[in-house]
Structure 1
Amino acid sequence: MIVCNIGRALWFCLLCVASVALVPKSTEHITRAGIYYLLDDRLEYVHNYSRCDLLQDALNRFAERLDQVSTDLGYENDKVKELSSLTKMQIHINSGCDESAQLLWPTEFMREEYVVDVSHGVINIVAEQIWGILHALETVQQLIFLNRFRMRIIQSQLILDEPRFAHRGYLIDTSRHYLQTELILNFLDAMSMVKMNVLHWHIVDDTSFPYYSHTFPNLTLKGAYHPFAYIYTREDVLRVIQHARSRGIRVMSEFDTPGHTQCWGLGHPELLTQCFDNHGNPTNELGPIDPTRNSSYEFMEQLMNEVKQTFPDNFVHLGGDEVDFSCCCWYLNYIQYGNDWIAQYNCDPTEFGGSIDFTGTPEEISRVLGGEAAMWGEYVDDTNIFSRSW
């Protein structure tokens, strides 16, 4: 037990040296043995970014969670060399942060590195962009613990951290397993605590279409598990996106096509391929989206335009896996070498005008909606169009 004279108050403080295991592990972590600070009940947050809503929201969350700190790291014997009060947190963003004109959004190119220096009675945080500051605050939250007198303690230390992987995602499948919006928001909170930065929202699939489309409402009204109870309205989706943005998390939606679309046919049966047996008789079964109809492309263009206007991320996942080739011979993961791939395109019912043009005509290029498309693949080898691992 040691006696600590703080101002006019006389505190009897029992402290311990604990090895704080940050999650995820930081790039570099240097602790200064024996030097501790008692956190003031109301920290002063010093910065020059009054027009940065992202920062203010993050600080509000930090202050709220600070009041809920309950971590007790135990009380091993230790010699405390220095104990003083910490009353201030200073924040510096090298590139600045101003959202007065437009909101800032996390992207695949965002800078997330940061430095946290707890010394001389101040918590100093420096980052290139606001996204690093968000991660730094999560780190600081993990560094604070309580002593036996329920006083908040933080050890003097230096942390330098940057992500090893730019894409750190988690997938939720709300087509097969509907999740209430509040649960998704709670899940985003958990993701931010461990610095994950992409919510891969597999929002629709064969089993149900919970995303409410204003362009094609029958997709949801007839394709969801329930037309009102188990759907995501535009307001729900925007709430998830905004909640994620404030925590530096991208939301990449997935609209699996052209397979995994059976529930789409409940509201729009004309969209899917009619299946026939070897004798040319209808089987009364539906395959993937019918690539022989111009109306299919018009439908997808309208739907993707709505998706593009709803989800601000640069990427949309289009699935592309497990296409039922009993109706169509095309299959994304059918591996062929050399010139054998020609057989697959000759079998494809889409008209290629006698030749394959991967660059597209000017008319085709004019119909590109923009953004990036991601697709599923069971494996990556030299036959893939883009050999990319996520």
Structure 2
Amino acid sequence: MKCSITCFLYLLFIVVYYISKCHSIVPKAYKHHKTGIYHNLVEVLTYNHSYKSCYILTEALKRFEERLTLIKQYPKVPICLPNSTIDTIKISITRGCNESNGELWPSESIIETYSLFIFSKRIILKSEEIWGILHGLETILQLIYRSPLETNMIEGGLIWDEPSFPHRGFLIDTSRHYLSLKEIEKFLGAFHPYLLIYTPNDVKYLLNYARLLGIRIMPEFDTPDHANS
């Protein structure tokens, strides 16, 4: 058992090291064509879209901006001369995103496919629905790195991606091990918890928090396992 754990940690270290050196996308994109041409990003990006009533997108761009400030310089990154400077991210949603008449919620049939074009002067992110845009923004963040010249840089290219599986989940058993709402938020990449001692307002908060991340929470109602023992 001890040997198995040691081997697992060693393999995990190798994977993380390889990812950090190659600046790969996790999970790996379905199609990723790199141009080998690098571009600077201005400190304050412009977001070009026509979805002013899409609260999901508004919150996603706020998170995007916050995480941009957390990007740090990679060790031993070569100085690449930028071909141009990117100042705009253009977002296109084929089916639109309007929450002025009600909130949008992820469903069984959501479309998460997206395409990403990184050219000189701008980045173009396209998807049929808002849920694909959320994934695309995460991918952009993984591609950006801080250069030795203290500027954000990104390699040009084309990405087309879709989920390998329509449903992904993670089980958190809070009925046997209580977790605070903040701790549960950390698992909201994909999760399926047992809710036991949370108030209706807590549940409502988690549902909306997950919605903004494109996650669908499906509650299960159960009785204690030993109720009749």
Structures share a fold, TM > 0.5? yes
Q: Distance in 2 between matches of 1:111 and 1:175?
A: 32
- Give the Cα–Cα distance (whole angstroms) in 1 for the partners of residues 55 and 116 of structure 2: 21
Distance 2:75 2:125 in 1: 24
Q: 1:30 aligns with which of 10, 30, 33?
A: 33
Deviation at 1:75, TM superposition (A): 2.5
**Distance (Å, rounded) in 2 between the aligned partners of 1:171 and 1:157:** 36
Q: Which residue of 2 aligns with 1:168?
A: 168
- The Cα shift of 1:150 comes to 2.1
Q: 2 CA distance for matches of 1:241 and 1:122?
A: 34
Contact 1:73–1:145 (8 Å) recurs in 2: no
Aligned-residue offset at 1:149: 2.6
Give deviations 1:247-272, integer Å, cap 9, x for gaps. 00111222236xx433xx4xxxxxxx
Structure 1 runs of 4+ off > 6 angstroms?
none
1:233 to 181, 199, 221: 199
Aligned CA distance change for structure 1 residues 238 and 45 (closer, same or farther; 3 Å): same
Higher helix share goes to which structure? 2
Deviation at 1:64, TM superposition (A): 1.0
Q: Aligned partners of 2:38 and 2:108: how far apart in 1? A: 38
Deviation at 1:71, TM superposition (A): 4.6
Task: Determine if the alignment matches structure 1 residue 83 to structure 2 residue 117.
Answer: no
Name the amino acid aligned to 1:148.
P
Per the TM alignment, residue 170 of structure 1 is displaced from its structure 2 partner at its CA by 0.6
Alignment partners' CA distance in 1, 2:105 and 2:141: 23
Please report how far the alpha carbon of residue 136 of structure 1 lies from its aligned counterpart in structure 2 after TM superposition. Answer: 0.3
- Residue matched to 2:214: 248
Is the 2:79–2:147 Cα contact (8 Å) retained in structure 1? no
| Preserved contact between residue 79 and residue 148 of structure 2 (Cα < 8 Å) | no
Q: Distance in 2 between matches of 1:73 and 1:163?
A: 31
Gap runs ≥5 in structure 1: 1-17, 204-208, 211-231, 266-285, 288-390
**Are the structure 2 counterparts of residues 77 and 56 from structure 1 closer, same or farther at C-alpha, using a change threshold of 3 Å?**
closer
Q: Distance in 1 between matches of 2:62 and 2:92?
A: 17
Contact persistence 2:39–2:120 (CA under 8 A)? no
- Aligned pairs for 1:374-389 (under 5 A) are none
- Structure 2 stretches lacking a partner, 5+ long: 1-20
How far has the Cα of 1:68 moved from its partner? 1.2
In the TM superposition, 1:74-223 aligns within 5 A as: 74-76=76-78, 80=81, 82-188=82-188, 191=189, 196=190, 199-203=191-195, 209-210=196-197
Bigger Rg over Cα: 1
Q: In 2, Cα distance between the equivalents of 1:30 and 1:71?
A: 24
In the superposition, the TM-score normalised over structure 1's length comes to: 0.51
What is the aligned-residue RMSD (CA, Å)? 1.7
SS at match of 1:64: helix
1:150 and 1:170 map into 2 onto residues whose CA distance is 38
- Whether contact under 8 Å (1:111, 1:131) holds in the other structure is yes
Work out the CA distance in 1 between the residues paired with 2:181 and 2:59: 20
Task: Give 1:49 shift.
Answer: 0.5
Amino acid at match of 2:99: E
* 1:65 partner letter: R
Q: Percent identity?
A: 40
CA distance in 2, matches of 1:252, 1:71: 40
In the alignment, the residues of structure 2 paired with residue 42 and residue 77 of structure 1 have an alpha-carbon distance, to the nearest angstrom, of 22
Deviations 1:304-343, CA, capped at 9 Å, x for gaps:
xxxxxxxxxxxxxxxxxxxxxxxxxxxxxxxxxxxxxxxx
SS of the residue corresponding to residue 250 of structure 1 reads coil
CA distance in 1, matches of 2:150, 2:120: 23
Instruction: Mark the CA change 1:47 to 1:73 in structure 2 (over 3 Å): closer, same or farther.
Output: farther
Aligned residues: 209
How far residue 235 of structure 1 moved from its aligned partner, in angstroms, is: 1.4
CA deviations on 1:46-99 (whole Å, 9 max, x unpaired) are 001011101111011101111111151532476x4x522110000000000000
Q: Which amino acid aligns with 2:172?
A: I
CA distance in 1, matches of 2:79, 2:215: 41
Aligned to 1:142, what secondary structure does the other structure show?
helix
C-alpha contact 1:73 1:146 (8 A) present in aligned 2: no
Alpha-carbon separation, structure 1, partners of 2:79 and 2:41: 21
SS at structure 1 position matched to 2:217 = strand
Secondary structure at 2:66's aligned position in 1? Answer: helix
